[in-house]
Amino acid sequence: MMIRAKRRFPRVPINRPALVRLVEPDPYLKPFEDFTRAQTLGAGGCMFVSPETLGFGSLAVLLISLGHKVVRADTKVVYEKPRQDGSLEAYLRRLRVQREALHAQLREPVRELVDQLEGLDDPSRSELERLRQALDDLGPEAGPILVLYIDPGDEGKDGATAATKGRVLRAREVTNALVRLRAPGIVEDLIRRTSTGSTTGRVHAVEILGTSPEPERAGAWLEELFRTSEGELRLEAVRALARLGGTEGPTLRAALTDSDTEVVATVLAAVDSGQVDLGVVPLEDSHDGLSVATVDGLAFDTSDVVVASTGVSLFAYVADGASGLHVLQLTSPETVPGYLGFSPRPEPVWIAGYRTHGPAVALSRGLERDRAVDETGHQVSIFNRLGAGPLTRRQMERLYLRDGALYTVRDSAAEAAPDANGAGVERSDAADPGTETVQAPAPRPGRQP
């Protein structure tokens, strides 16, 4: 004879209408409020039917109609059991319940690892390896939770505080873990994060998309990012496209002619490693069809060019493979009439060369020779002139203000007569109606007017 254990809190069948509303819904589920029917009621809780999963551990308010009274109960979802009706909808409900139960179990371990990473000030190699292994042990199922931590947030101006360093380390290590795990089901979340948050967080999201197990969806978005973004995000997009691989790549093929040498180098490296197949023949295997530039009778097999100005002349620094580095003068007062005009036509002349120890394949960017200030006249940066400084606001105002008013000139030559101080003044009878008469600046001490 089988004896059934007596319940500590007996259940009473009621089958009464009720309203359920989530108070703190699971972040992965949409807000929920709906009418339902409470099936049983007891001192230890109640059971009701819900058309959707509420999420394990979610907090809810339950309003149960009992005759002429409405009983309010603040509840917590402690288990969900899908109805066994054999339909596809029931099967999907079971999967959602299982996923949410798993996420509920993983949230605390993920949070502990994240806290440990953020708390590291000067981590040892062994400590980092231990935490990396712990992140990997969570498995791809932790992807939707880990993706919440790929953005370090505002890193501040100096990034010197331990808290900031911890956030940066956490975001970097979590991103690396997601790259290794190739977690499914996070593409849409990553796509949203490529357009929100800090620049570092957006770049991290793009990096993870480059290893997505859903290459069609991820690749389409990465191509859009490459076309519409700029700077570091654009470069990371082409890197991610290269990591996705494949043979069809109109965007990568177009990137071979991009003006950014880093973009071109990224695509060529992907071709060389076999990640993508663009039908590009390696230069060392090609004997015909090479485009060779000729200057002063010299043939150049160029792999990189940097253009920079020195004085009033424009120069091209050429990485010429086995023949080394060459310098071409593109404009000069002697060879280019109108060299000071807008966009003068270059007339390249070879002026110097240097045979490097190995093939010259790339050049660094030249240094800007200028200072930058913002609209208030405060310094933003000084590039490469030692001892140089920006103009202050007052110094700049001396260039365009006279007695606090904007200094202007007329389009046509105006008759002027010297005043008692020797300064030129426009004659009022020569001025056009409605034109403000402006006095020319007085001569500076020690200079002739």
Is residue 239 within 8 A of residue 232, CB to CB? The reply is no
Whether residue 67 is contained in a domain is answered as yes
Res 204: pLDDT? 94
Q: Check whether residue 114 and residue 189 sit in a common domain.
A: yes
- Digits of tens for pLDDT over the chain (449 positions)? 445 556 677 788 888 888 888 876 555 555 677 888 888 888 778 888 777 777 777 888 888 888 778 888 888 888 777 666 556 566 666 666 677 777 778 888 899 999 999 888 778 888 889 999 999 998 888 888 999 999 988 654 444 444 478 888 999 999 999 999 999 889 999 999 998 888 899 999 999 999 999 888 898 899 899 888 888 898 899 889 888 875 456 777 778 777 777 787 777 777 766 676 665 544 444 333 334 455 555 556 677 888 887 777 888 888 888 888 989 888 888 888 877 776 778 888 888 889 888 888 888 877 655 556 666 666 565 555 555 566 677 777 888 888 888 888 877 765 544 444 444 444 444 444 444 444 444 444 443 43
Q: Check whether residue 131 and residue 27 sit in a common domain.
A: no
Res 27: pLDDT? 52
Is residue 240 within 8 A of residue 210, CB to CB? The reply is yes
Q: Mark which of 223, 256, 273 sits at the end of a domain.
A: 273
Whether residue 278 is contained in a domain is answered as no
Q: Check whether residue 174 and residue 261 sit in a common domain.
A: yes
Is residue 104 within 8 A of residue 57, CB to CB? The reply is yes
Number of domains within the chain? 4
Whether residue 290 is contained in a domain is answered as no
Q: Mark which of 354, 379, 394 sits at the end of a domain.
A: 354
Q: Check whether residue 47 and residue 190 sit in a common domain.
A: no
Q: Who contacts 442 (Cβ-Cβ below 8 Å, separation ≥6)?
A: 421, 423
Whether residue 288 is contained in a domain is answered as no
Supply the range of the domain harboring residue 25. 12-80
CB atoms within 10 A of CB 413: 7
Res 206: pLDDT? 93
Whether residue 75 is contained in a domain is answered as yes
Place of tokens 């295997």: 285
CB atoms within 10 A of CB 54: 21
Q: Check whether residue 195 and residue 239 sit in a common domain.
A: yes
* 9 φ/ψ sector (left φ>0, alpha ψ -120 to 50, else beta): beta
Res 123: pLDDT? 81
